[in-house]
Chain A
Amino acid sequence: MTSRKIGLTLGVFLTITASVTGLVIVPNWQFRELQPVKKADGSQYPMPLFGEQAKGREVYIDQGCIYCHSQQIRMKGYGADIRRNWGTRRSVPRDYIHEKPHQLGTMRTGPDLASIGSRQPSTVWHALHLYDPQITSPGSIMPRFQYLYTELRDGEALPPGTFEADVVKIPPQFQKNGVTRLMPTDRGKALVEYLKGLNKTFPLPEAAQ
């Protein structure tokens, strides 16, 4: 009887170790070899994030953007990702070699963001969209990230340590309660920098197939 008990325990142990080996460890050997490629201008793709963009990625994670937005483009002919202009090519493992934690996502309650930076490079657009999605995308069900901005009333002085260059003007028809301008907080600014930097359009050779 004891041998049967040990057989059961060992058997179920083997089923799970087999799958983690086959699905995680073996592919990891395969992907570990992937290196960035040199672009024509001498820079590399993909580049690890640093500074504002790295900070912005942390904001992206802590706000849980992943629960509505994916960052992966499916290949041509499978879904309409490319025809929707979400990307120019399918995403491949090399695009993600620096990602920790990965933010591939599994939901598209909102559109894919793999290349949002190339699609929407405007700082003002991102700021207004995050502050109140109804300004740029009427009917959107995205939350307002008002707390990433300091609201400024007409004539109100800038918060100490901030610069006029970062001020975002609210279009007159969307001004409420006398709030005419916005000063992004450090996190708000970083998040927009991160979003503007999201760009997976560089034509990697293996993505052409």
Chain B
Amino acid sequence: MSAAVETNPQVEVVSRIEVDRSAEGAVTIYWASALFWLTIATIAGLISSAKLHSPDFLGNIEWLTFGRIRPVHWDTAIYGFGGTAASGTLLWLQARLCQTRIPFPALLIAGGVIFNVGILLGSIGVLMGQSTGVETLELPLYAMPLLVIPYVFIVIANFKMYFTRKTSHTYVSQWYLMAVTVWFPILVLSAEACTNLGAVDGVAQAIANWWYGHNVVGLFATPTGIAAAYYLIPKVIGKPIHSYHLSLLGFWSNAIFYNWAGTHHLTGGPLPAWTITIGVVGSLMMFIPVITIGINHHMTMLGSFHHLKTSPTLRFAVMGSMIYTLSSFQGSLESLRSHQEITHFTHYTIGHVHFGMYGFFAPLMFAMMYYAMPRLTGNEWSSARLIRIHFWCTLIGMLVYAISMCYAGIRQGMMMNDPTAPFLDIVRFTVPFLWIRTLGGLILFAGTIAFLINFWRIVQPHRLRFVTPTLMTTERDYNMLLNKEKELEQNDK
């Protein structure tokens, strides 16, 4: 056995472990927060949903009235869950791909705590009636510094890792991670300036509002999800990504066109036609990145579908990437004026948002956690059954939700465009579908609980006491972990 053969792979393995060691605290706190806020957001969503078919449910409590609990649902979902899940992903994926330790982990952990306090204070503010009244930017201004400062830490950490890394190669996922890092602060600060700080008035404010509302999904959640899919799919099945050139085209077309798509949220509104037309064009041009990214992900998967059986990571990642394609197609078509004439003010939009957020973004974040948490903590997922419950509840609950809302929305829109249909008849028509939506939400909630239990167990300090891997791990990783366990035991003695 020559020394070179023996040590070479070990150098890489040790460095991975070192990366994960440095990242464990910060990433775990962000992902644990993500699950906490996902639970809160789901409960708030269920309350909102129940109130729409049974308006007397928790009827006379002012701070739980629909108009307050509904923005709390979305804000805790997009910032509480989305923000923290994406932040954890940004940190861990960047550190792994740069093969570098996470800088100033203590500061990042403090950031995670501050961020949670910010979301909590902001949500309580909205429940108390202090909403700013701007959709998606409802959180009162005093909560904003608490959300921005932790993100500044993440931005600095990302830049530091990316610009001082030892590796020479930039992987596709890193483009997306760097893009998110640059986009999100600009997005939030310009949107706050244009709406709540009053830099622009009237309908220009409405454009700023929806430029933001669309981009917070498109320039924050989406690129993070795509970065995760680009990393996880090839990693788990052990095949390179289908085409480098396509990923380049996909990245830049996404960066250019998504930015302009937001104004389709104001179709038919009091705006010059050109502003809406830009939004429609931007949305239709999104077919280019969506198709190229889709080809890349699905062609990479082609011939490897048998791995879905054993790898929870891959299940969620493939579900996410497939629904990315479907929900993006849906979104592009939805932007057309003829489509918007029917569906614009209806539950269809709500169905689409959940299809994208819970069908694409959330599963990819779950996939990241399923992949990374055992590596970060040294524990295995305790129950394969809970993972299966989580997966099927996510898939079925999300389909029940999205299909019922989209169908109800189309019918609702068609009835609204028929002036002879009394408005209250339309309301009565939607009620059964609103019940089905609550059912879908409950199924999603059951999945969340299953994941929470598993997550709670994996962060317990039973370092390296895994039994059989529930994740598909390579033998090398497995042996490496065994060796590391022995080493730790010796250190303990």
Please indicate whether A and B come from the same complex rather than being unrelated chains.
yes
- A residues whose Cβ falls under 8 Å from a Cβ of B: 1-2, 4-5, 8-9, 11-13, 15-20, 22-25, 27-28, 30-32, 34, 61-68, 70, 72, 74-75, 78-80, 83-84, 90-93, 95-109, 111, 133, 137-147
Collect the chain B residues with CB atoms within 8 Å of residue A95's CB.
Answer: 270
Q: Which of B68, B209, B255, B256 contacts A63 (CB 8 A)?
A: B68
Collect the chain A residues with CB atoms within 8 Å of residue B270's CB.
Answer: 72, 90-93, 95-96, 104
Q: Is the CB of B419 within 8 A of A83?
A: yes
**B451 on interface, CB distance cutoff 8 Å:** no
Q: Is the CB of B65 within 8 A of A143?
A: yes
Task: Classify the interface of chain A: helix, strand, loop or mixed.
Answer: loop
Collect the chain A residues with CB atoms within 8 Å of residue B133's CB.
Answer: 61-62, 66, 101, 103
Q: Is the CB of A99 within 8 A of B259?
A: no
Q: Is the CB of B203 within 8 A of A31?
A: yes
Contact with A along B254-284 (1 / 0, CB 8 A): 0110011011011011111001001000000
Closest A residue to B211 by beta carbon equals: A23
Q: Is the CB of B67 within 8 A of A101?
A: no
Q: Is the CB of A15 within 8 A of B419?
A: no
Closest A residue to B415 by beta carbon equals: A80
Q: Which of B203, B271, B278 contacts A22 (CB 8 A)?
A: B278
Q: Is the CB of A67 within 8 A of B70?
A: yes
Collect the chain A residues with CB atoms within 8 Å of residue B268's CB.
Answer: 72, 74-75, 78-79
Report how far A95 CA is from B65 CA in the complex, Å: 29
The 3 closest A-B pairs by CB, nearest first: A64-B67, A19-B259, A61-B133
**B51 on interface, CB distance cutoff 8 Å:** yes
**B190 on interface, CB distance cutoff 8 Å:** yes
Collect the chain A residues with CB atoms within 8 Å of residue B66's CB.
Answer: 64, 67-68, 143
Report how far A84 CA is from B417 CA in the complex, Å: 8
Q: A72-B270, A111-B423, A137-B424 are in contact. List 15 more A-B contacts (CB 8 A).
A: A9-B178, A11-B255, A15-B259, A19-B259, A20-B190, A34-B202, A64-B67, A79-B417, A80-B418, A80-B419, A93-B203, A96-B203, A97-B202, A141-B431, A144-B56
Closest B residue to A144 by beta carbon equals: B59
Q: Which of A15, A65, A98 contacts B202 (CB 8 A)?
A: A98
Report how far A146 CA is from B71 CA in the complex, Å: 21
**B1 on interface, CB distance cutoff 8 Å:** no
With A101-B134, A139-B427, A140-B424 already in contact, the answer to whether A16 and B416 are too (CB < 8 A) is: no
Give the tally of cross-chain contacts (CB within 8 A): 221
Q: Which of B60, B194, B201, B262 contacts A97 (CB 8 A)?
A: B201
Shortest distance between the CB of A42 and any CB in chain B (Å) = 24
Collect the chain B residues with CB atoms within 8 Å of residue A9's CB.
Answer: 178, 182
Q: Is the CB of A64 within 8 A of B131?
A: yes
Contact with A along B50-92 (1 / 0, CB 8 A): 0111011001101001111011000000000000000000000
Q: Which of A2, A13, A31, A74 contacts B204 (CB 8 A)?
A: A31
Q: Which of B162, B182, B278 contacts A23 (CB 8 A)?
A: B278
Total chain B interface residues with beta-carbon distance under 8 A: 84
Collect the chain A residues with CB atoms within 8 Å of residue B206's CB.
Answer: 96, 102, 104
**B170 on interface, CB distance cutoff 8 Å:** yes
Q: Is the CB of A72 within 8 A of B419?
A: no
With A66-B133, A67-B67, A104-B269 already in contact, the answer to whether A32 and B256 are too (CB < 8 A) is: no
Shortest distance between the CB of A196 and any CB in chain B (Å) = 20
What are 22 contact pairs spanning A and B, CB under 8 A?
A: A11-B255, A18-B259, A23-B207, A23-B262, A32-B204, A63-B129, A64-B67, A68-B67, A70-B345, A79-B341, A91-B270, A97-B202, A101-B196, A102-B209, A104-B206, A104-B269, A106-B349, A107-B345, A139-B424, A140-B424, A141-B427, A144-B60
Shortest distance between the CB of B41 and any CB in chain A (Å) = 15
Q: Is the CB of B55 within 8 A of A102?
A: no
Q: Is the CB of B205 within 8 A of A102?
A: yes
Contact with A along B113-136 (1 / 0, CB 8 A): 000000000000000011111110
With A144-B55, A147-B60 already in contact, the answer to whether A64 and B65 are too (CB < 8 A) is: yes
Q: Is the CB of A61 within 8 A of B131?
A: yes
Collect the chain B residues with CB atoms within 8 Å of residue A100's CB.
Answer: 198, 201-202, 205
Greatest chain A CB density within 10 A among B52, B200, B260, B345 is at B345
- B residues whose Cβ falls under 8 Å from a Cβ of A: 51-53, 55-56, 59-60, 62, 65-68, 70-71, 129-135, 162-163, 168, 170, 175, 178-179, 182-183, 186-187, 190, 194-196, 198, 200-209, 211, 215, 219, 252, 255-256, 259-260, 262-263, 265-266, 268-272, 275, 278, 337, 341, 344-347, 349, 416-419, 423-424, 427-428, 430-431, 434
Collect the chain A residues with CB atoms within 8 Å of residue B346's CB.
Answer: 107-108
Report how far A36 CA is from B183 CA in the complex, Å: 37
Q: Is the CB of A13 within 8 A of B67?
A: no
Q: Is the CB of A62 within 8 A of B187?
A: no
Q: Is the CB of A143 within 8 A of B51?
A: yes
Collect the chain B residues with CB atoms within 8 Å of residue A92's CB.
Answer: 270
Q: Is the CB of A101 within 8 A of B132?
A: yes
Q: Is the CB of B65 within 8 A of A63?
A: yes
Collect the chain A residues with CB atoms within 8 Å of residue B134's CB.
Answer: 101-102
Collect the chain B residues with CB atoms within 8 Å of residue A96's CB.
Answer: 202-203, 206, 270
Greatest chain B CB density within 10 A among A64, A84, A144, A146 is at A64
Collect the chain A residues with CB atoms within 8 Å of residue B275's CB.
Answer: 23, 27
Q: Is the CB of A67 within 8 A of B71?
A: yes
Q: Which of B53, B207, B252, B427 contacts A27 (CB 8 A)?
A: B207
With A28-B204, A144-B60 already in contact, the answer to whether A13 and B182 are too (CB < 8 A) is: yes
With A13-B186, A144-B55 already in contact, the answer to whether A22 and B260 are too (CB < 8 A) is: yes
Collect the chain B residues with CB atoms within 8 Å of residue A93's CB.
Answer: 202-203, 270-272
Q: Is the CB of B183 within 8 A of A143?
A: no
Q: Is the CB of A24 within 8 A of B207?
A: yes
